[in-house]
Amino acid sequence: MIDVQNLHKYFGELEVLKGVDVHINRGDCVCVVGPSGGGKSTFLRCINLLEVPTKGDVIIEGVSAMQNMRYIDKLREKVGMVFQQFNLFPHMTVLKNVTFAPVKLKKMTKEQAEQRGMELLARVGLAEKANEYPNRLSGGQKQRVAIARALAMEPDVLLFDEPTSALDPEMVGEVLEVMKQLAESKTTMIVVTHEMGFAREVGNRVLFMDGGIVAEEGTPQEVFGNPKSERLKQFLSKVL
């Protein structure tokens, strides 16, 4: 359902992505691992065009993103994103954070969105925080609200950009638990993460990105149990 074709991205002179081809199927939970500076986040941000690729294309549900930059907002409705720094809207309550986009984009009426928003907040275990402002929440709670906010647009795919990297260690679990439930309910997800345990347990595919390319990919068993390239072996020996 998402086809990444020959993706190149330059930042000035620096070539961050050097030709990435990835196909993502419905229901996949793809985990992207690799060293810092390997292009993981840039790859993810190219999928919803937060970074515009220098070359190549991203096909979302058969629609070329690069040829439809004018309708980019419509395409982005289908691609939810969860950020490392949460990026909740601080001037809105938790519920408003979740309902704002669906209501503003006329996807739902206010009543529908609020009902749906409460369901989603209940799903991430935060229904009782609906009327709080984000600054009253812990990091883990913020990230769970951010997940609910992304889900409220009913996207076809959810992108996670290191969702637990900014969290205190004791809060990582609650966020991963929510993500695991999403994966189990066959939500299509692409997760850039340093949580190897999560990638191994929850992902059905793992991409190892290094030097701007997908250096190795396969099932978690293949990537973690039987790494082929020297570079991946080296990486795993450091992080595991």
Q: Interface with another protein by CB under 8 A: which residues?
A: 48, 50, 52, 69-70, 73-74, 76-77, 79-81, 83, 85, 87-91, 100-101, 104-105, 133, 135, 146, 149-150, 153
Using the minimum distance from each CB to another protein, give the nearer residue, 48 or 193: 48
For residue 154, the minimal CB distance to another protein (Å) is 11
Q: Which residue has the tokens 């439930």?
A: 181
125/221 Cα distance (integer angstroms): 31
1/94 Cα distance (integer angstroms): 31
Using the minimum distance from each CB to another protein, give the nearer residue, 13 or 73: 73
Strands 79-82 and 63-64: unpaired
Rounded alpha-carbon distances, angstroms, from residue 57 to 61, 99, 115:
13, 31, 37
For residue 125, the minimal CB distance to another protein (Å) is 21
Using the minimum distance from each CB to another protein, give the nearer residue, 79 or 175: 79
Q: Which long-range contacts (CB under 8 A, 24 or more apart) does 223-229 make?
A: 223/33, 224/196, 224/199, 224/200
Q: Is 166 exposed, middle or buried (0-12, 13-18, 19+ CB in 10 A)?
A: middle
**With contact defined as beta carbons under 8 Å apart, do 212 and 200 qualify?**
no
For residue 150, the minimal CB distance to another protein (Å) is 7
For residue 135, the minimal CB distance to another protein (Å) is 6
Using the minimum distance from each CB to another protein, give the nearer residue, 124 or 213: 124
For residue 163, the minimal CB distance to another protein (Å) is 13
Using the minimum distance from each CB to another protein, give the nearer residue, 50 or 127: 50
